[in-house]
Structure 1
Amino acid sequence: MTDTGAATPVPSEDEAAALADDAVACCSRLIRFDTSNFGGGESRGERPCAEWVAERLTDAGLTPVVLESAPGRASTVVRIAGADPAAPALLVHGHLDVVPAEPSDWSSHPFAGDVRDGAVWGRGALDMKDMDAMMLAFVRHLERTGARPPRDLVLAFVADEEDAGEYGARFLVEQHPDLFEGVNAAISESGGHTVHLPGGGRLYPIAAGERGSAWMTATARGTAGHGSRHNDDNAVVKLAAAIGRFDGYAWPVRVVPVVAALLDGLSRHLGVTIDPADLSPLGAAADLVSGTLANSVNPTMLRAGYKHNVIPGEASAALDGRILPGTEAEFFATVDALLGPDGTRTGDFRAPVSADHTAPDFAAMAAALRAHDPEALVLPYCMTGGTDAKAFAALGIPGFGFVPGRTPADFDAWQYVHGVDEHVLTDSLAFGARVLTSYLMTDPRVFA
C-alpha cells in the first residue's frame, strides 16, 4: 500500500484489483446462501453461512468463533490483532440474514448470486452481503500482503438483524461481551455511498445517528355486545378514533444536532440557505433529511373481534414509532395523549443512538473516501430506521453507518433494498473494498 501524504494508505493497482475480485466472488457466494429471516424466530440458512465465513477467516490464518443463540441462528466473530495492542479497537459488523424474496417476482433466482451486466444479483446484494464481502476481501488482503492494521479489529458477521436482533447482535452483547473488550467505535450499515447533488457534486453521507424505535401495541377496551344493537362503548370505534388522531397529527420539526450538521454542510456546499420546510434545493439529498426532521408513528396491523355479529370488548393496533435522539420524553407523552383515556400501550423500545461526527474515526472515514474520490463531500446524517448499532450501544460502543460505494446518478439503491431484482454494481463493490481497506489501515489517532 502507498501513503497519500495524509496518513491514509491506498492499495496499489494490483492490490486494488485483487480486492475487487475477492469482493465480487465473496458477494456472489454469500448470496447463494438463502438466509431469509421471516421474523418471529423463523429463519433459514444462517448457520451454514456463518460456518462458511468462519472457514474463509480460518484459511486466512485467523481464529474465528461461531456462536449459536438458538438452533441454526449463528454468528461468526473474529479479532484481528493490530500493530498497537494498546490502541482502542474498532468493531466492523455486518449481518448475514436477509429479508425473504419471492423467486417468481425476480428476473433471475434471488439466491443464484449471478454476476452479469456489471453487477452481482440477488437478495442481500445491497443489504448487506456487499459489506460482508468487502470485509472478507479485506481479510484476504491482509493475508496476501502480510500487513497489520494499526489497531485491533473485531469483525462480526451476525444473525437476525432483519428482525429484532435477539438471536444475533443482542445475543452477542448480552452473552459474550468479552468479545468486544477495548472497542471504542463501530461501523456497519448504512452510509458512505454516493448521493448525487444538484450541480454535479458527490455527497458521501456517513450515519452518525439513528432514530429510535418503539414497536407498540395500542389497545382500546369497551363493552362487548350483540352486533345488531348500538353500543356507545365500542372498542373498535375507540381504536379507529385513536388511529385517526395519529394520522392527523403533525409531529413538530426538531432539528437535532446531527441533522443540523448535514444541513449546514449542504448549505455551504450549495451556496443556499436550506429551509426545513422546503428541501427541494437538495435534490436527491432531500431524502437524507426529510425522514429525520420529526418523530413518526405509523399504524401497521389491526386486530379485533372474532365474529360478524359480536361487538368485541377489545381492539388493538400495531404502531411503528420512530424517535429522534433527545426527544424520547416528548414522543411518549404525545403518543399517550393521542391514544386518549381509553387506550393503553405495550411494546418494545430501543432508544435512538448517536455518535460524535467530530471524532477521529469520522475524520478517518472521510479521508479514506477522499483518497479514492478527491471531490467527495463527506457529511454526517441521521438514519430514519435502525440497525444493530443499537445493540452494541449497550456496551458503550458508538456506531457509524459506513458501507462505502460509488454509483451513477441513475442507480437508485433504495429501489432494490428489500425490493425485487436487488443488485450491487461490481464497480461500486471495487470502490467500496478500496475505501474500506484504506480506512481500516488508517490510525484514527492522527486525526485527533
Structure 2
Amino acid sequence: MPPVRRSKRIASTNAKGIPKAEASPSTRVDDSAAEPARPHLLNLPRDILSEITTYLTAESTTCLTLTSKTALSRLGKASWAEFSGATRRHYGGINPLFKLLKRDLPGHWHCSTCNVLHPPLKPPRAHRTTKYTRNCLREDPVIDFWPRTEDGDSPRYSLVFSHLTQARQPVVTPQNVNPIALFDGDYTVQQGGVEYRLISAGRWVGLQRNIIITQEHRLRRAVLGEPLRAEDVLALPLRVCAHLSTTTESPPQAEQGRSAYRRNGPLLSHAVVTAFPESLQGDYNLSHSPEGPFRKLTGAEMNQYRDAAADDNYIWRCSSCPTKFRIEYRARAAVANAVESNNAELVITAWHFFGAEPRDVYRFWIMSALRIGPDLPPRKRNCEFFVTERPLPDFEIEYVDGPIPCQHCGELHIG
C-alpha cells in the first residue's frame, strides 16, 4: 500500500487561526434543469413553422418578424417586399401593415416620405427640427423665427403645418370649450440685456371656427434700475411675422437673372419707437430716403402711419400676410426698491390668422412662413426683403368663450 501523501497547500484559516472546514459538494438539485422546456412557436422545426406562417397574411407575417431577432432569422424578410422597396404593392392608399401597427401604437402617424410610423407630434413648445424631420417635411417650411438662445436645448417655439391640421379637427369638451391647448406656450430668454418673454395661445374665432394664434411679446430691461429704451428693442432680432422685422442688414444678393431683393421697410421699427414716451425714443434713424437704412414706404404703409398718429391704440397690419399687431408701453406691477423708469415693459400682441377651410389654411401658412435665400425663385420667397402686397381677408381678433346665440337660427354656437 503506497504511503498517503499530504497536500503541501496551506489550509485556509479564519481570523482566530482555526482551519476552515473544506467545502463539501452541493447536494442541491437544479430546479431549472429539472423543469421541462416550455413550448414556443419559434422552437418548432423550420418546416412546421413555415407551414404555419402560410396561413398568415403578408402584414401579419411582417409583424411577426418584428417581434424579435429570432423570428426575423427564422422567417426572413420575404414578406417585407409587399410594403417596402421597388417591388412593394399598392393598396389604394391604405397600407394594411401600417393599419395593423397603429392598432398597437395609438397616436402614431404614417409618414409618406420616409414610409415609417412616427410618434405623436409634439406641441410647438416642445417640437424640435432635426435632419430627420426636414426630410419628412420636404418643402413644407417651419415657423421658428421667434427668439431663442444659442443653446440647442433652450426654450423655443417651433410651429409646423401638421399642428394646424390637428387644430382643424377640434375635440370640444366641457373643460376646454374654446382654447386650443396645442398652441399654448410661455418661455423667457435674455438677449442683449433685455428680458424677452413670449406667450402663445390659439383660438377658434367666429361661427366658421377660424384658427387664430396669438403671440404676446413682453420686453423689459433685465437689469434693475435701467429703463427700457427704443434702441434696446430695435437692436434685438425682433420679428412679428415673416415680413415685419427691425433688421437694418443689407438684403441677400439674388442669383443672376432673378429679381433682386429690396431693403427692409420701417413699419415695425416706426411702430416700436412711437409706442415709447418721447424721453425714451432716442434719435434712432427711421429715414426711408435712398441714403437711409430702410426702403421707401408703400401707399398702404403711409396710410397706416397717418391713422396710427391719431389713435394711441392703433392695430397695425402686415400687407403681405394676414397678421395684425398692437404695441403698448405698459406699467408693470410695483416692485420693491425699483425706480419708476424700470417699472414698465413693452408689450407687442400679434394675431396670426389661418382661416378654417383646408385650402385657406395652407395658403395662409405659406404666406406666414419665412423663406429666404439667394437661389429661391420669386414665387417661393417670403421675407422682409421681398414684400408682395396682396388682398388679404379682414378678421376679428376678439373671441368669446363659451356658446353664443346665432343671429340667423337663434341657437347657441361655440364662438
TM-score (norm 2): 0.26
TM-score (norm 1): 0.25
